[in-house]
Amino acid sequence: MSDDDPGTAVRRDRFSGGPARKFLSSLAADEAIFEADLAVDRAHVVMLAEQGIVDSAAAGEILAALDDVEAAGHAELPDGEDVHEAIETAVIDRVGPDGGRIHTARSRNDEVATCIRYRLREDLLDVAEATVAAREALVEVAGEHAETVMPGYTHLQPAQPTTVAHYLCSYEGGLARDTERLLDAYGRVNRSPLGAAAFAGTPFDVDRDRTAELLGFDGTVRNSTDAVSSRDFLAEAASALATLATTLSGLAEDLIVFSNKGVVELADAYASTSSIMPQKKNPDTLELTRGVAGDAIGEATGTLSLLKGLPRAYNRDLQRAHASVFEIAGDVREATEVAAGAVATAEWDEAALAAAAGEGFSTATGVADLLATGGMPFRTAHEIVATAAETVEDGDSPGAAAAKVDEAARKVTGEPLSAYVSREDVESALDPAESVASRDSAGGPAPEAVADELAAAEAGIESDGDALAVERDALDAANEALDAEVDRYV
């Protein structure tokens, strides 16, 4: 059938515009970078005026139009393929043909890459600040429970006694690394692609360092092809968020289990009741926190999958790479705040924890260590305690348990415990609190070791808080400087 055939025209009318145009458009999703695009536009226009590429009068008109567009909001933008095109159209509508000078010496390729980085760096700072606040909450609660003995588990089986403080410090350490990963990712996000144009630079005498400065970036992504095509910073950010979400999921799971065992009670604000069973108190917020990890892991995987195998240039696939990372960043930040609040407001039942700390002969390792310090080969001590474990019961007093250990020693070695250690020392080692106190190696659960750990954690929190404040101040200063430059033309 020829192109002149009426059937061809009908098909063209059917497929032109409609579903294809809607599928191509990212305007709705681009609301997330609306404010970023306005900032990028302003910095670009100021630079064009400073370089003499656009005259001051035209620059002033464009910048004033951008103020009007911002005041009207994203919802009032004209239809367009994306927010960049829609804003440019809105400027031209207000200014006339000179409004089209806004796009001189750039492409939507470098424009969108800059907008994504501009927005994402704010998200990363928000999440990093939430991790610092969560660490503060963990340290505060840990400081109140340095001597609160609790059971420690491996494979969900009673293993060795520890303390609430030591347990919480373990999560502070994990969150500290999460903060570090977020700050590292921020450093690589905070580079400007603007001025790279489509991918091969521009013949105009642009000053890329100036636009980077006006936007608060630490520098530029220098190679113009790398600047527009790379999204590894998105993958890195998504991975850091997924790792943080996984840390939070572990904390949430633990609190859910402890709540089930009756040793922790969540505050009402972090729980809910059943619609039909009024006696129940469900750890719903922690279950949702646990669920966020699955979303974050999926997003990290999806981002890498999208980037895999793309040719080295801008590809339209990239349009789908960033919006959900922004969404996950918000979800993970909220989950961080919720987990921190749950820990800060939870009630730890110290009596129930102490009673559970010795269950399952959890002090057995301490007894084996004691025998080894008395000169017995550790493997022999391990065999003795394993033999005793067959008869020791949770209700046994320290004296009764020590007698069973002595019986096991005679059975394994033919000698009484007194050949190596005193009966009193064995009874002491069988006590959960004494067992904890003996483990005073660096990073251990003994109160003195935990005190050192808390001091180090507080120093790390202060250092990271200071680093975040520096970055925030730098962005605020850049915003103020850009506003001042815009005021010169408007």
Structural domain spans, the chain: 19-104, 109-147+165-204+222-348, 364-430
- Tens-place pLDDT, residues 222-259: 999 999 999 999 999 999 999 999 999 999 999 999 99
Mean pLDDT lowest for which of 1-5, 332-336, 455-459?
Answer: 1-5
Query: Taking a C-beta distance cutoff of 8 angstroms, is the pair 1, 7 a contact?
Result: yes
* Rounded average pLDDT over 378-392: 93
What is the C-alpha R_g of the chain? 31
Which residues, in sequence order, are CB contacts of 490 under 8 Å at separation 6+? 60, 63, 64, 67
The answer, yes or no, to whether residue 278 has pLDDT greater than 80, is: no
Mean of all residue pLDDT scores within the chain: 93
The answer, yes or no, to whether residue 179 has pLDDT greater than 60, is: yes
CATH class of 109-147+165-204+222-348: mainly alpha
Residue numbers annotated as active site: 155, 274
The answer, yes or no, to whether residue 60 has pLDDT greater than 70, is: yes
* Rounded average pLDDT over 146-155: 94
pLDDT of residue 2: 47
* Rounded average pLDDT over 123-148: 98
pLDDT of residue 1: 42
Q: Distance between CA atoms of 240 and 246, rounded to whole angstroms?
A: 10
Q: Which residues pair with 70 in a beta bridge?
A: none
pLDDT of residue 7: 54
In the CATH scheme, what is the code of domain 19-104? 1.10.275.10
Determine how β-strand 347-348 pairs with β-strand 264-265. Answer: antiparallel
pTM beyond cutoff 0.75? yes
Query: Taking a C-beta distance cutoff of 8 angstroms, is the pair 306, 269 a contact?
Result: no
What one-character-per-residue DSSP string does 224-259 give? HHHHHH--HHHHHHHHHHHHHHHHHHHHHHHHHHHH
